[in-house]
């Protein structure tokens, strides 16, 4: 999908992989997002435009729990639930985001992990909300599921651009979106979206499909396998 007003430049984006397959040996992947900027009548502006690329995974409902030490034991204390936190979020830009757009524009387009709209459903106190939101962002940044790559987008001759975004091994399957924004004089003048699918393949895909389509047989088989392995382990132990 391409978005742009009449007389404004347009984006022609693409990605190196429209489908990413996850197997048992999957350790991550690199996605190359690239494309071209098409200017009206082929005339480039005197001031070069900038590019931001946002890669987002499926939204999830997630509950964050805070741990507290009571009598020497760590227990669950306060908690917060977020209705629509992205399972994966990465943004790449040609320059630092703060130099490209103001706070309001960044919030509208969710440009930056601190601008994500996580839709909290269980908190009213703003200080408590900020604490839990910061905790969620920190947790996902440490696992590579949230990332910012500011200044990493390369623009050649003011027309061709490319950005490389790593996908960690812990990404979930589902439909992802790669959004590209063209920024000029502090405002977004064009945008384009490409869809990416991450799915399991091989034996992992078979197991996932079996669990979804034949849940009763899948559960029964899992129980029988567990019982069989336990009986086998016990029989071996008795012989030793």
- The pLDDT of residue 222: 64
Summarised one tens digit per residue, pLDDT across range 50-84 is 999 999 999 988 887 776 666 666 666 677 788 88
Rounded to an integer, the average pLDDT of 91-99 is: 96
Q: Pick the more confident residue, 239 or 36.
A: 36
- The pLDDT of residue 147: 96
The answer to whether residue 87 scores a pLDDT higher than 80 is: yes
pLDDT confidence of 3, banded at 50, 70, 90? low
Residue whose entry in the numeric block shows the structure tokens 């991450």 = 198
Contact criterion met (CB below 8 Å) for 189 and 9: yes
Summarised one tens digit per residue, pLDDT across range 137-194 is 998 999 999 999 999 999 998 899 999 999 998 899 999 999 999 999 999 999 999 9
The answer to whether residue 211 scores a pLDDT higher than 70 is: no
> How far is it, in rounded angstroms, from Cα 180 to Cα 13?
7
* DSSP three-state, residue 105: helix
* Residue 112: exposure state from Cβ atoms within 10 A (0-12, 13-18, ≥19): buried
CA 53 to chain centre: 12
Q: Give 128-190 as a DSSP string.
A: HHHHHHHHHHHHHHHTTSEEEEET--EEETTTEEEEEEEE-TTPPSEEEEEEEEEEETTEEEE
- The pLDDT of residue 71: 62
End-to-end CA distance of the chain: 66
- The DSSP 8-state label assigned to residue 9 in this structure reads -
């Amino acid at each position: 999908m391409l978005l742009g007003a009449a007389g404004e430049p347009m984006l022609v984006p693409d990605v190196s992989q429209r489908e990413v397959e996850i197997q048992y040996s999957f350790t991550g992947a690199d996605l190359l997002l690239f494309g071209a900027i098409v200017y009206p009548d082929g005339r480039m502006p005197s001031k070069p435009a900038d590019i931001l690329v946002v890669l987002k995974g499926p939204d999830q409902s997630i509950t964050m729990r805070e741990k507290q030490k009571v009598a020497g034991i760590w227990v669950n204390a306060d908690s917060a639930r977020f209705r629509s936190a992205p399972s994966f979020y990465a943004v790449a830009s040609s320059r630092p985001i703060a130099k490209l757009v103001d706070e309001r524009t960044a919030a509208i387009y969710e440009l930056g992990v601190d601008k994500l709209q996580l839709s909290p459903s269980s908190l009213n106190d703003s200080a408590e909300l900020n604490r839990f939101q910061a905790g969620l962002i920190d947790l996902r940044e440490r696992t590579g599921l949230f990332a910012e790559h500011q200044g990493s987008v390369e623009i050649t001759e003011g027309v061709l651009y490319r950005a490389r975004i790593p996908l960690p091994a812990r990404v979930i399957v589902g439909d992802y979106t790669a959004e590209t924004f063209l920024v000029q004089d502090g405002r977004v003048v064009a945008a384009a979206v490409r869809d990416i699918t991450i799915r399991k393949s091989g034996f992992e895909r078979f197991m996932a499909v079996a669990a979804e389509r034949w849940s009763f047989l899948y559960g029964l088989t899992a129980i029988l396998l567990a019982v069989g392995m336990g009986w086998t382990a016990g029989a071996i132990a008795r012989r030793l």
